[in-house]
Amino acid sequence: MTEASPDLELGFSVGPHLVAGGLALAPMAGNTNLAYRRLCRKFGADLTTTEMVSSVALGFDDQKSLALLERGAEEYPVAAQVFGADPEALAQAAAKVETLGFHIVDLNVGCPVPKITGGGGGSALLKEPELAARCVAAMVAATSTPVTVKIRAGWDDENKNAPEFAKRMEEAGAQAVTVHGRTREQRYSGVADLNLIAEVAKAVHIPVIGNGDVECIESAKRMLETGVSGIAIGRGALGRPWLFQQIRAWLNGEAVPNDPGPATRASLLLELGCGVTELYGEFRGMRIMRRLTADFLKGLPGAAKLRARCNRLQCFADLEGLAAAYSSGESEGV
């Protein structure tokens, strides 16, 4: 086991809100619903963030968008993430987020999906730092809720402008910045540029949260060595919420718990399924669980044979049957 270094510590504040442990669950569309955030909190995530919502849609009180902003009373601190490229719409969205009781409002300048960047939002704002600064300044002026920004390394390898961009966000009033170490063109391929994340950490005075490729103790240590104040874990926590507990134990110099076995995973899967069903109803909930269930079983004995069964989940009883089969070791025969 990698020994924790007393010289490497995590923890930061966003406005009045202390994120003492420094471990955050990164926002992920289709994944970080309230039920999944609660599960990650159970294992030690200190900061959670909603799925991203359209600032324009919030301005119209769109019910689908508002449904993504379900907030647990126990979530502290919790951020709502919004996207867009219009300062006025983002200002209205920030004010709306405040009325909903969130502690932080986060501007998405990282999403690489064409339907988001095509409208000028997400990582497209990396090419428009002055517009992005106006967006942040408008949000700051519209709310007393602290504003943070999630960015990428840059648009492409020729335009890795994250350090300069982060400075501009700080000047505009952002109180923290999260940096995903990949460019927009990389999307989720290749590896995160930890050297660039280190440059961002040196460039600004606000907290910098590092994001990208943290999926074990060793990768958490590499991220910590960049000088960040916090670590945001995204895909590494999909189906593995206990990763937060393992990293926390390592940071505290404690024995790192092993990954849970099939019975515990099955129990956690049912807990998640209950939460998702409560949020979205059984019909929609089980369609969401098709993907989340596959994440929980990835890489385990018999998981390949269960994958087709994941894709056929129709009701909660189907999920119970799948969990029972895996827990009892029957997965080889399903």
Q: Helix 316-327 vs helix 262-297: angle between axes, to the nearest 10 degrees?
A: 120
Phi/psi at 178 (nearest 5 deg)?
Answer: -105, 130
Pairwise CA distance, residues 227 & 107, whole Å = 23
Q: Helix 194-203 vs helix 217-224: angle between axes, to the nearest 10 degrees?
A: 40
Confidence (pLDDT) at 306: 77
Q: Alpha carbon 102 to chain centroid distance?
A: 16
Q: Tell me the catalytic residues.
A: 111
pLDDT in tens, 141-188: 999 999 999 999 999 999 999 999 999 999 999 999 999 999 999 989
pLDDT in tens, 247-304: 999 999 999 999 998 889 899 999 999 999 999 999 999 999 998 988 888 777 777 7
Q: Which amino acid is at 322?
A: L
Complete DSSP assignment for 274-304: HHHHHHHHHHHHHHHHHHHHHHHHTTSTTHH
Pairwise CA distance, residues 71 & 100, whole Å = 8
- The pTM for the full model equals 0.93
Pairwise CA distance, residues 182 & 110, whole Å = 9
Confidence (pLDDT) at 2: 53
Phi/psi at 90 (nearest 5 deg)?
Answer: -70, -35
Pairwise CA distance, residues 160 & 153, whole Å = 5
